Structure 1
Amino acid sequence: MSGQGSGGNVIAAICNVFFPGLGQLVQGRILAALIFAIIAFGGYALWFLVVPAIIGAIAHLWAIIDAAKFKANE
């Protein structure tokens, strides 16, 4: 990946729109992908408690932004 705004980062951000953490997985960041997926889906699973659902939504948005702004250490 070239850096912020590169085609790879745009694809990773779009992947995150559909499945939280998938964009990080596309970028090769397995631990970040797992953390984002667990927090987002855990929050969505507990939607009836309201606060976890909000936390899940924030994690989902954060995953999208994180994938879009990722810069690889080269």
Structure 2
Amino acid sequence: MSGQGSGGNVIAALCNIFIPGLGQLVQGRVLAALLFFVVCAVGYTLWWLIIPAIIAAIAHLWAIVDAAKFRARF
């Protein structure tokens, strides 16, 4: 991937809209992808407790922004 705002980062951010963590997986960051997916999946599964759902929504938005602003360190 190039830098912030590159086409790859835009695609990764769009992937995260549908499945949290998918954008990080597209970028090759497996650990971050698993972390975002698990936090969002557990939080959305426990939606009736309100607080986990709010945490999941924040993590979901964070995953989108994180994928959009990612810069590879080479």
Structure 1 stretches of 4+ moved >2 Å: none
1:49 match: 49
Distance in 1 separating the partners of 2:64 and 2:39: 14
- One-letter amino acid of the counterpart of residue 50, structure 1: I
Q: How does 1:16-31 map to 2 (within 5 A)?
A: 16-31=16-31
Q: How many residues align?
A: 74
Cα distance, 1:70 vs. partner? Answer: 0.1
Distance in 2 separating the partners of 1:63 and 1:56: 10
Cα distance, 1:62 vs. partner? Answer: 0.2
Provide structure 2 residue ranges, at least 5 long, that are not aligned to the other structure. none
What RMSD over aligned residues (CA atoms) do the two structures have, in Å? 0.3
Cα distance, 1:56 vs. partner? Answer: 0.3
Task: Please report the TM-score for the alignment, with normalisation by the length of structure 2.
Answer: 0.99
Identity of aligned residues (%): 73
Provide structure 1 residue ranges, at least 5 long, that are not aligned to the other structure. none
Distance in 2 separating the partners of 1:22 and 1:62: 13
Distance in 2 separating the partners of 1:3 and 1:62: 18
